[in-house]
């Protein structure tokens, strides 16, 4: 939620102005500690500075002190500087100059700028005219009391805004760079990002592409997957994992999951490969394990089972990017791996995107060709059927600073998860918090809990304005889109049981201390 703070309130805080200071500071602190995005309008900067200087001057005179103006000005700058570390500057636009037909141009200007913060924004002020004129304007008293009555509680399921606040300067600069150099397709930022990605994941090649789904599709195309081929995967995942197999005319063969990690169960994989060889005419070709909710699958065992039957292994790390398996990063755990830059994934862009990782030079070359219509040595020589599967330069430019921040964000996700796991203690509801085997680290794309009374819990949390989501309510073998595969209820009992009981809590590196405290308290008191 966006909150614009009026100049008066800022002056109260910066100069400890009585009798307003306590209320103004309380409102500001509540907003800050509870994940609101606090804005100050740059158009009011001059007023702000001028008024703070004169307030400080006034109070020193009242105290009978003689302080030189330069010292007072320095004090004013200091107080604004420290405040500006936890606020956002709302930039003035040219439309803000066109305000002189209004009887109060200053208020008119502020309201115009405020309008750009969107529907849900609030304007904290103690200006009576503003409070009367604008229904989104709220006094400090009202803000505090509404907040305490939970009316203003706002816990995002995934907080993309907090990251944007941290990176705004860098993001804006990157956007302008691209607008100026104009290489919109496969521009220099694509190469820069791919280089950074190979370094981060620890692989030879990183090939960015149009989405996490196309990232899965292209290696299958490179392996020549088609009708008559069987590709093994989990039914407890996002549709894209299995969809790409069907899209190429091959057959997804589902393998049930482990009840504690929710990832593909290697023992059942062995059985499934055996069964396909014995009972069908399908050729077993490959396995797509998924690093669900951020937790890598059991790769050492899966790779050795795959090797016995000469199958490729494609790691779907759309959620797992940032996860670790025995000191190795997700994205480097199989013959080829993919991730997604969908905004809500651990490393998210501001649009669609994905990447493919591999150490295999020959495969990388094919993927680069597939990404641009199966190009050969030049653009208009087409050596195979491919796609328009490129990642946008603009998105790549935005991902570069996001990747820079990513290691820090992973640590914060880990802290949020630990806090949940250590403090969620509701024995009557028999909640099962995530299980992380000791040789693994999760990227915490989601924090997912199993509970018998899921619907009741979700309803109760909703009443407290705490959002939850179910990933995934229907396992893929029961999806209408896969009815042609002939599966029935009961075929994958663990996936079905988990689908009925699972739900996810708000998770983001920027979930505030106060917010997780509320969530834990509400859950424990059910």
Q: Applying CB under 6 A, which of residues 137, 240, 394, 399 lies at the interface with ligand PLP?
A: 240
Output the smallest distance, CB 137 to ligand PLP, in A.
39
Q: Applying CB under 6 A, which of residues 241, 446, 448, 508 lies at the interface with ligand PLP?
A: 241
CA distances from 51 to 47, 114, 183, 458 (A): 6, 21, 46, 49
Q: What's the DSSP call for residue 434?
A: -
Q: Is the dihedral of CA 142, 147, 151, 155 positive or negative?
A: positive
Which among 316-324, 328-336, 365-373, 453-461 is the span making contact with ligand PLP, rule CB under 6 A?
316-324
Site string for ligand PLP, 213-232 (x = CB under 6 A): x-------------------
Helix (H) or strand (E) holding 125: none
The answer to whether 124 and 27 are in contact (CB under 8 A) is yes
What is the footprint of ligand PLP within residues 380-439 (CB under 6 A)? Answer: none
Closest residue by beta carbon to ligand PLP: 212
Q: Applying CB under 6 A, which of residues 316, 392, 409, 496 lies at the interface with ligand PLP?
A: 316
| Structure tokens given for 332 | 């480097």
Q: Applying CB under 6 A, which of residues 114, 238, 293, 447 lies at the interface with ligand PLP?
A: 238
Closest by CA position to 451, among listed 408, 498, 411, 496: 498
Residues contacting ligand PLP: total by CB under 6 A: 15
Which among 211-219, 403-411, 475-483, 514-522 is the span making contact with ligand PLP, rule CB under 6 A?
211-219
Q: Applying CB under 6 A, which of residues 325, 342, 391, 503 lies at the interface with ligand PLP?
A: 342
- Strand-pairing partners, residue 340, are 354
Q: What is the largest CA-CA distance in the chain?
A: 96
Output the smallest distance, CB 253 to ligand PLP, in A.
17
Q: Applying CB under 6 A, which of residues 43, 187, 296, 354 lies at the interface with ligand PLP?
A: 354
The answer to whether 184 and 395 are in contact (CB under 8 A) is no
Q: Applying CB under 6 A, which of residues 15, 208, 237, 358 lies at the interface with ligand PLP?
A: 237
Interatomic CA distance for residues 130 and 106, integer angstroms:
11
Output the smallest distance, CB 256 to ligand PLP, in A.
17
Closest by CA position to 99, among listed 90, 84, 110, 88: 110
**Residue with smaller CB distance to ligand PLP, 5 or 287:** 287
Q: Applying CB under 6 A, which of residues 311, 318, 336, 461 lies at the interface with ligand PLP?
A: 318
Which among 20-28, 210-218, 219-227, 268-276 is the span making contact with ligand PLP, rule CB under 6 A?
210-218
Taking CB under 6 A as the rule, does residue 352 contact ligand PLP? yes
Site string for ligand PLP, 66-95 (x = CB under 6 A): ------------------------------
| DSSP secondary structure string for all residues of 178-213 | HHHH---BS-HHHHHHHHHHHHHHT-SEEEEES-HH
Q: Applying CB under 6 A, which of residues 3, 276, 290, 436 lies at the interface with ligand PLP?
A: 290
**Residue with smaller CB distance to ligand PLP, 370 or 518:** 370
Torsional class of 172: left (φ above 0), alpha (ψ -120 to 50), beta (otherwise): alpha
Per-residue b or e along 437-473, where b marks 16 or more CB atoms closer than 10 Å to that residue's CB? eeebbbbbbbbbbbbeebeebbebbeebebbbbbbbe
CA distances from 47 to 28, 44, 72 (A): 20, 5, 16
Output the smallest distance, CB 53 to ligand PLP, in A.
52
Contact set with ligand PLP (CB under 6 A): 211-213, 237-238, 240-241, 290, 316, 318-319, 340, 342, 352, 354
């Amino acid at each position: 939620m966006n909150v614009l703070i009026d100049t008066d309130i800022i002056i109260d805080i910066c100069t400890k102005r009585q009798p307003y200071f306590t209320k103004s500071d309380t409102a500001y602190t509540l907003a800050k500690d509870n994940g609101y995005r606090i804005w100050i309008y740059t158009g009011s900067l001059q007023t702000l500075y001028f008024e703070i200087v004169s307030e400080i001057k006034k109070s020193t005179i009242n105290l009978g002190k003689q302080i030189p103006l330069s010292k007072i000005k320095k004090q004013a700058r200091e107080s604004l500087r420290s405040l500006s570390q936890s606020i956002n500057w709302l930039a003035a636009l040219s439309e803000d100059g066109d305000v002189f037909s209004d009887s109060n141009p200053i208020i008119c200007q502020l309201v115009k700028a405020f309008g750009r913060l969107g529907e849900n924004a609030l304007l904290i002020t103690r200006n009576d005219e503003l409070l009367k004129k604008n229904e989104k304007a709220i006094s400090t008293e009202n803000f505090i009391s509404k907040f305490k009555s939970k009316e203003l509680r706002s816990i995002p399921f995934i907080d993309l805004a907090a990251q944007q606040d941290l990176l705004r300067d860098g993001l804006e600069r990157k956007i302008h760079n691209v607008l100026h150099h104009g290489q919109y397709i496969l521009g220099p930022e694509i190469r820069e990002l791919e280089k950074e990605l190979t370094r981060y994941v620890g692989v030879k090649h990183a090939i960015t592409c149009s989405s996490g789904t196309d990232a899965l599709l292209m290696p299958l195309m490179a392996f020549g997957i088609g009708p008559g081929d069987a590709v093994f995967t989990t039914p407890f995942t996002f549709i894209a994992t299995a969809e790409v197999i069907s899209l190429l005319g091959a057959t997804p063969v589902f393998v049930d999951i482990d009840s504690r990690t929710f990832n593909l169960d290697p023992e059942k994989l062995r059985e499934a490969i055996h069964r396909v060889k014995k009972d069908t005419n399908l050729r077993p070709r490959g396995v797509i394990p998924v690093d669900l909710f951020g937790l890598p699958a059991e790769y050492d065992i899966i790779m050795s089972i795959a090797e016995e039957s000469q199958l490729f292994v494609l790691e779907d790390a759309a959620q797992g990017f940032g996860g670790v398996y025995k000191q190795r990063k997700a994205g480097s755990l199989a013959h080829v791996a993919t991730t997604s830059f969908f905004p809500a994934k651990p490393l998210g862009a501001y649009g669609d995107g994905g990447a493919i990782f591999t150490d295999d030079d020959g495969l990388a070359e094919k993927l680069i060709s597939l990404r641009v219509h199966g190009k050969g040595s030049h653009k208009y020589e087409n050596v195979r059927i491919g796609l328009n599967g490129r990642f946008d330069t603009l998105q790549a430019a935005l991902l570069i600073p996001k990747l820079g921040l990513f290691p820090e964000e992973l640590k914060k996700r880990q802290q949020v998860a630990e806090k949940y796991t250590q403090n969620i203690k509701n024995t009557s509801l028999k909640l099962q918090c995530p299980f992380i085997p000791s040789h693994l680290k999760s990227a915490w794309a989601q924090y997912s809990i199993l509970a018998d009374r899921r619907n009741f819990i979700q309803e109760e949390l909703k009443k407290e304005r705490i959002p939850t989501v179910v990933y995934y309510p229907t396992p893929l073998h029961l999806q209408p889109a896969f009815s042609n595969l002939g599966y029935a209820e009961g075929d994958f009992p663990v996936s079905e049981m988990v689908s009925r009981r699972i739900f996810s809590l708000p998770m983001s590196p920027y979930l505030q201390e106060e917010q997780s405290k509320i969530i834990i308290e509400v859950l424990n008191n059910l």
